[in-house]
Structure 1
């Protein structure tokens, strides 16, 4: 356990109080949870507050393009077997949101913190984490996010000299390149279905050769490290070779991969894999994702897909009988305004499904589906879309702000 720090200074206490007051005003005004504005106000009063709030905690940071919110939740549940946890469970993952979350952790032992990829190095400097989990890097928010190779380089520089254990996905070349600068790395074979951002070697620029699970650069030899934690079907293999069953309520291969990384993180904090995996079974949904809700006589499963890698994993959840599908895409500030990523998604996977398209950018998506030769209808509203679909459970797949719109409509 981290050493206990001195009680917060008067300035830090004032910062926490001011932040909570600002958050309360934001909630009262109906502008959301208030975590971001509360954190911004607190950090304005005390710029060093984040580090002060984390001083008594054993902290793990979780960063990735996809899966970080879910993995953060799974780790938090696992570590509760060993003590109280404070976490930014709703995904406010920039310094202001993280500061708000930690302000509620005065009595916690562990801090389980999701961090936006661009802020990882800075937050790590502030909170001195015991562990950092790196899951993947892929293209996202093309109008403003750094190119994935640049993010990997930023991670690599930020990890140099940092006294922490890095738990990293051995199947993502960009993550391996970033994590390799750390002195202590635990490699996890979590899988990587999306490979279109990792064909060139991050070390020398050569072409990476992929052979099954293995990958290697033919020019410089940079390649996949040997993992000590492995996802094998429905089991996690630990460093001793023992196989532990995964029984999640969360669906899909991607969540088994998230659970494998979470089990490796929990082990770094002294929680045995069988205990960690058992506790993960209690997680049925994460911030509304995967929830099945009843609305106007229909069962609707809410699925979030923000970028090509996320859409690919989500399509794997609806393989099988051709269930009706609603697709919703926006391009607001939180989504990124560039929708050219739609052309990187293999929408032919939707062939045979009754498909209806809604959202602010429904016409962009309609053009993409037409080129993919997928039958679809365009509707103006969610209610109209439901009326166009045949009976049965509906799969509703949406990017970030479109997903929040759907949650408000169905009362989730």
Structure 2
């Protein structure tokens, strides 16, 4: 077979869903043969674009497009310093695109090359939010009507603060009216304020209400989003045990993972962790020491399909399942990459799902089908999702600095978002 070499690498920025996305297109010397990948780091899209155009592109041109593993390994260390979110997202876009090319050459969907189908459909969970317990209950009931059997239950988004930042979820969420924060100083620094103590008192009451009204026939998830102190996370996990969560997400910040030993010793609440990890080795001690139950990995931030599959395989040996991050700030190509991993991974746990609007479906033909809480991929070769570049131009990215990450405590202290 004639060698398939990389002739060009393009970066496509678009925002059909209102959230800035970064897509990589790798072109080859074979007419019409190209691959697409997701490189979205929506808070720093132009930095990722520069990394691709100025560094990844000259590194890749002329290389064999089928040497996926070699390209990942050599590209990961080509800048010497490594495993940062900007370069990892750039590398992810390339890695997914190369898997897309490989699948097209083989005439197979990517999941077949990752080991083949392990399940008939991919179970999903939906984010269900509201300003109080009744509103959250109503949101969950609506999701259940659509067939979802797993839901993430939040009151006022993360920490109860709500959000008006459309670049986070492309929609506003109300502040929790049942969470009364402490009084702030008279001259407040600009930011998104929340009170972790008030939030911690409200969460068990939320789940008291939800289990009373909805019973145990639906699986509940809750995302702490690293918003509380480590000792408070331990107490919350203990307080929620009676509600039998499917998992408690990111109870501590990456900087405080040693506290997971204490949490594990005192609570049986299942834990998912890793949304903010950028180095695949950050997962290793948590998996091998049985400190987590689900790997909560943002696939593009660790570098794409190649490292994600390795993390999943390592986790399988330790009884840990997958729960890939699936927010609104990944492209439909990244969404499909998650699902290819889900279909081909024995130790799959659950997949987060953020609905795609009509503009996204129009710009990205071939998106997965969603039915009764399950996702279904097509059997198109490669990743299976394409992009209409002309339509993508109709939705320019805005860039800028996100507001939701400017989190502050009641006294004005900067906090993790």
Q: TM-score, normalised by structure 2?
A: 0.31
Q: TM-score, normalised by structure 1?
A: 0.31
Q: Relative contact order, CA 8 A, sep 6+: which one is greater?
A: 2
